[in-house]
Amino acid sequence: MKFGVVVFPGSNCDHDAWYAIRENLGEQAEFIWHDSTRLGDVDAVVLPGGFSYGDYLRCGAIAKFSPVMQAVKRFAADGGLVLGICNGFQILVEAGLLPGALVRNAALQFVCREVRLRTETTNTPFTAAASVGQVLRVPIAHGEGCYVADARTLDELEGEDRVVFRYVDNPNGSARDIAGVLNPARNVMGMMPHPERASDPLMGSSDGLLIFRSMVSAFAHA
Amino acid sequence: MTTLSPELIASHQLTEPEYNKIVEILGREPSYTELGIFSVMWSEHCSYKSSRLHLKKLPTRGRYVVQGPGENAGIVEIGGGYVAAFKIESHNHPSFIEPFQGAATGVGGILRDIFTMGARPIAVMDALRFGPLDDAANGARNRRILEGVVSGIAHYGNCFGVPTVGGECVFEACYNGNPLVNVFALGVAKGDEIFYAKAAGVGNPVIYVGAKTGRDGIHGASMASAEFTEESKQKRPNVQVGDPFLEKLLLEACLEAMQTGAIVGIQDMGAAGLTCSTCEMGSRGGTGIEIELDRVPQRETGMTAYEIMLSESQERMLLVAEKGREEEVFRVFRKWGLDAVTVGQVTGDGLLRVRHHGEIVAEIPNQPLADSAPLYDRPHTQPLRSAPMRAPAFSSRDLTRDLERLLGSSDICSKRWIWQQYDYQVRTNTLAGPAAADAAILRVKETGAALAMALDGNARYCYLEPREGTKLLVAECCRNLAVVGADPVGATNNLNFGNPERPEIMAQLVESIEGMADACRFFEVPITGGNVSLYNETLGEGIWPTPVVGVVGLLKGGPPVGMHFPRAGLAVMLIGGLGKCDAVHFGGTQYAKAVLGELWGLPPELDLDHEKRVQTCVREITQTGVAESAHDISDGGLAVALAECSFGAPGIGAVIDFDSGMPPELLLFHEGPSRVLVATAEPEKVQEIAAGHGVEALRIGTTAEGQLTIRNRGTALIRAEVEALRKIFEGALENKLRD
């Protein structure tokens, strides 16, 4: 399986995702430059963490206009798997591929630490290899990771089983402890925690590999 | 040319003999622009005129050293065809005036020093010093400075994408008006792809890349070379504003442009901006450089030649490319959306020639400008100190309470509130980040090996006795590496001192450098570069001598040995023994500071030979895999070290039994060096290794779930629940900031 890792000028977890996919997962990965209008022959897209275009404005507010995002939208509309991590999640929300918004952490500080994530659903191509209620240890590193949406949207996400992960100890004030959500078609997921940083036992946890492995098996069975 | 008034010359911090030397070099009076150029190049910050004579005493060569002092960063070999480039630099003065931007641009500056050599930065550490957070008069300001500095470091490092993997943070009243921000950065490059800051090849184009030049930071280098006065607050415009996103683009573009093979030499524009980069590159290459200021990208209109040459706008680089291959370089910078403009060329006449609006505004020989700055052998007498030698009488009523006070004191308490704001994991190399082990450990994916970094300073010791204090901190830094199983390969130093024109301050500097030279020679760690920050005084009040040393070590890749007890039932071994201490050598300890509120006597005694044997022994214990955890004894002594070992995720403490005749305060809290705690399932093996090095390895107890109990000859000295201690340790800093 070939993963395309999108590179915005300010992406800084692009190499980490690339490395985790190739070295820890054992699949193919290639970089896609932000001004590309085509994604090439990739089977899934990862929008990595970082600061897309500096993000001095709202995170991801400029990235949504980038040429590559138009291609990502088409890819998603055709049912392709898209995983947005951290800044990637912020971009997916800004681009309208996922509902809600990510605002400054409740404590108004950047926070880097390992969190525990409860798997809320396995009815997704991103968590099929997990079990419901399974707790994953995955790091976060963000200043604007507080997930917000109006009550109706939140009810809808829950009603449609589109909340994929919740924080066991909410680190940023996210509504209803939400750490990751799906689009209605269930092929686009955004999450603030970094599974690529939890893909190697040497880094303290390899729980994040479960997400990448789920994507591989979903693709194989598609 | 207009005649320059003595007042104007004095306002450029040039003395009369210095000015006369300028006239001698030029063979005429300098122009206003030339005066500005000389004033920054000959400032203390750029020229090291007070320290150079003594810095020569430091060892700079070693088995692994590829590049010593004199370049943008030092370089050591790390095996597998790769090298590490590293250096430490201070941004003390700007961080006092504008904490957020001052600290942020401090990070930005040292990162450019690393990647200008062709190395991708992979880690940063910080040594921070502030006034006390609960200081009656200055507490609120100190808290604001701390918060600003930490968020500035986080802002820059996190966005740039370099992990901030550790550091240290200490509070003393002497930093009330003069905080210290020292940033230690490290990068990795292929050994055959190192770039140097040399301008070679007459006719080659000189290319300006990166951010546009503005009026920010003019005279930053000179500002950093004077004491602070009331008027200093008006120098806020001298502080630069950082743009980490632009720096990230500059990093990627520079590394990519270097791959084209078209780049001959490159230097960042840091202190003294365009001035420093042009004349230093010319001087190193033995060439001249001619630049045309009208071509320099500018973000403001109407800038004078003086302003353009002295601007310290951030995120700029100057490079020399091969003639005819400019387009290859431009293509890369266009891709990253950055300005890249040919502003001049390399010449054969050795002159820095600057044109503006068709006129020559400066014409100075590069070599004397860069390298012939005045050199001062400033008088030095006895190091300044006013602390008494004799110890006051003291006797503890409750040793457990004393331990709690130490764990909740600003210097010892958890700095989680600080390091949690730093992305310490980006690039997924961090095997041991903040507060995980005695040194930070980073894997090098390219080689499969790992690097360890440690950063230490101890101004209390250095104030009491600069020479011994500095030896102690070099020893501690090397010990930190030994504890994680690393061999030290090189070091970088940041010398933060007061006004060198005061003989008793100059004496602190001289003795400290000599102590550092002795210790570095003894432990075979060459100093490959660093930074000197003098005039750290505000309103006549100087800081304590604060040398800071960062050491880099090599170790095998793999799971690191952390400091925390991992499970109950392990033997707790004290390598190096209980050490010795008397009342006089107890006066610089954290116990004296936090519990007694006093400072007296001398720093702990260091036996270099014993220290080295302990280090070799501990390194072998760690490398052979018999240690399940290891932690050295430093601030707060044995009891604090045991508590720190207990603060891992599972909360495993220990039951300890001593057999010592020392007074209990000294036994528990003295800071004698050359001691390391090791938890092991194979105590006999540990003892065997220790015996081989002639080092004592005392079996002092056993790890135990949830409690820390320390007894001496059957009498309980300390009895505490690990979670209760942890609560104090973890909550203290946040509580102080909330006040």
CB B619 within 8 A of CB B612: no
**A189-205 per-residue burial string, b: 16 or more CB within 10 A, e: under 16:** bbbbbbbbbbbbebbbb
Walk along chain A (222 residues) and give the pLDDT tens digit of each residue.
999 999 999 999 999 999 999 999 999 999 999 999 999 999 999 999 999 999 998 999 999 999 999 999 999 999 999 999 999 999 999 999 999 999 999 999 999 999 999 999 999 999 999 999 999 999 999 999 999 999 999 999 999 999 999 999 999 999 999 999 999 999 999 999 999 999 999 999 999 999 999 999 999 987
At A12-24, the pLDDT tens digits run 999 999 999 999 9
Distance from CA of B712 to the nearest CA of A (A): 38
Distance, CA of B466 to CA of B453 (rounded, Å): 24
Q: Assign B1 a pLDDT band (cuts: 50, 70, 90).
A: very low
State both tokens at B230.
Answer: 């009331």
Question: Distance (Å, rounded) from C-alpha B156 to C-alpha B152?
Answer: 6
A185 inside 8 A of chain B by CB = no
Q: Which tokens belong to B439?
A: 């040194």
Is the CB of A82 inside 8 Å of chain B's CB atoms?
no
Write the single-letter amino acid at B55: L
pLDDT at B188 exceeding the cut of 60 = yes
pLDDT score of B120? 98
B29 DSSP 8-state letter: P
* pLDDT for res A210: 98
Question: Which amino acids of A are annotated catalytic?
Answer: 86, 194, 196
Tokens of B192: 């055959």
Beta bridge partners of B182: B90, B127
Among A13, A57, A202, A209, most B C-beta atoms within 10 A, so best to mutate, is A202
Cα of B162 to nearest chain A Cα, Å = 9
Q: Is the model's pLDDT at B34 over the cut of 50?
A: yes
Q: How confident is the model at residue B233 (pLDDT cuts 50, 70, 90)?
A: low
User: Has the ipTM of the complex gone over 0.90?
Assistant: yes
Residue of A nearest to B247 (CA): A10
Give chain A's count of helices (H) and strands (E).
5, 11
How far does the CA of residue B705 sit from the closest CA of chain A (Å)? 22
User: What is the pLDDT at residue B372?
Assistant: 87
- Residues B623 and A49: their CA atoms lie apart, in Å, by 35
Per-residue pLDDT tens over the stretch B503-559 = 999 999 999 999 999 999 999 999 999 999 999 998 888 999 999 999 999 999 889
Q: State the average pLDDT for chain B.
A: 95
What tokens does B193 get? 């792809």
Residue B2 has pLDDT above 90, yes or no: no
Q: What is the pLDDT of residue B739?
A: 65
pLDDT tens-digit profile of B242-270? Answer: 999 999 999 999 999 999 999 999 999 98
Strands B351-356 and B288-292: what pairing? parallel
B161: alpha, beta or left? (left if phi > 0; alpha if psi -120 to 50): left
Contact residues on chain B for A194, CB-CB shorter than 8 A: 425
A48 CB near a chain B CB, below 8 Å?
A: no
**Residue B539: predicted pLDDT:** 83
Residue B365, pLDDT score: 96
- Token representation of residue A160: 């449609």
Q: What is the pLDDT of residue B655?
A: 98
Sequence-ordered list of residues with C-beta below 8 angstroms from that of B258, at least 6 positions apart, any chain: B118, B193, B195, B266
Closest CA to B495 of B508, B482, B484, B476: B508
Cβ atoms of A45 and A72 within 8 Å: the answer is yes
Confidence of residue B626 (pLDDT cuts 50, 70, 90): very high
Catalytic residue positions of B, numbered: 45, 91
pLDDT of residue B540: 83
- The yes-or-no verdict on residue B613 having pLDDT over 80 is yes
Least Cα distance to A102 among A148, A56, A57 occurs for: A148
What confidence tens digit (pLDDT) does each residue in A130-149 have? 999 999 999 999 999 999 99
Residues of A in contact with B421 (CB under 8 A): 109-112
A123 three-class SS:
coil
Question: Is the CB of B245 less than 8 angstroms away from the CB of A54?
Answer: yes
Q: Write the CA distances from A89 to A134, B225, B379, B383, integer angstroms.
A: 22, 46, 61, 57
Query: Cβ of A174: how many Cβ atoms within 10 Å?
Result: 22
pTM greater than 0.90 (yes/no)? yes
Contact B271, B39 (CB under 8 A): no
pLDDT tens digits for range B286-332: 999 999 999 999 999 999 999 999 999 999 999 999 999 999 999 99
Q: Is A132 on the interface with B (CB under 8 A)?
A: no
